[in-house]
């Protein structure tokens, strides 16, 4: 059975452009409840840990530099079928391939600076959420 939580973070391009409020509004209007939220900034080392699964990819170094270049807004979200429904809401990784009306179609600048992250499985949603939040901060 699909789980009811996912993890997201609004990335430095979208936070820096002042789109945190607009994106958060779209998330809530799509039926997701915000369980935890904060504004923070990753060091390059922490970004490297978060994206360790992509270590062998040619874009890994640039991705870690980019993800530590400014503030981010990580969140834990709740909704039935959360992981799949949230990935539909954000659209494809490459904003040029993202469906009209998706968050990346509306706000992303490039395949790297693509506005927002969404977990790709229930297991990763749990791992990624725990990277930023401990149990006491959830409500």
Contact positions vs ligand CMP (CB under 6 A) = 54, 59, 63, 93, 111-112, 114, 117
User: Based on CB atoms, which residue is closest to ligand CMP, 58 or 135?
Assistant: 58
Closest separation in Å from C-beta 1 to ligand CMP: 24
Quick one: CA dihedral 4, 9, 15, 107, positive or negative? negative
Dump strand ranges (E) for 1-139: 5-10, 33-37, 73-78, 116-118
User: Based on CB atoms, which residue is closest to ligand CMP, 39 or 139?
Assistant: 39
Tokens of 33: 């409840």
Q: Is 117 a catalytic residue?
A: yes
Catalytic residue among 7, 114, 117, 129: 117
Closest separation in Å from C-beta 71 to ligand CMP: 16
Tokens of 15: 């936070």
d(CA 25, CA 19): 10
User: Based on CB atoms, which residue is closest to ligand CMP, 37 or 64?
Assistant: 64
Closest separation in Å from C-beta 24 to ligand CMP: 17
User: Based on CB atoms, which residue is closest to ligand CMP, 5 or 114?
Assistant: 114
Give bridge partners of residue 78 from the DSSP assignment.
5, 33
Compute the CA torsion angle 92, 58, 122, 19 (nearest 10 deg).
-50
Closest separation in Å from C-beta 114 to ligand CMP: 5
Residues annotated as part of the active site = 117
């Amino acid at each position: 059975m699909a789980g009811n939580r996912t993890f997201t973070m609004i990335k430095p391009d979208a936070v820096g452009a002042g789109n945190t409020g607009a994106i958060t509004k779209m998330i809530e209007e799509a039926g997701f409840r915000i369980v935890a939220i904060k504004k923070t900034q990753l060091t390059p080392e922490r970004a490297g840990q978060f994206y360790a699964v992509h270590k062998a990819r040619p874009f890994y170094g640039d991705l870690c530099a980019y993800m530590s270049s400014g503030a981010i807004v990580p969140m834990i979200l709740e909704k039935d079928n959360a992981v799949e429904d949230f990935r539909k809401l954000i659209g494809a990784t490459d904003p040029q391939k993202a469906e009209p009306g998706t968050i990346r179609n509306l706000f992303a600048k490039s395949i790297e600076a693509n506005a927002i992250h969404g977990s790709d499985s229930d297991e990763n949603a749990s791992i990624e959420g725990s990277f930023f939040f401990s149990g006491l901060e959830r409500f």
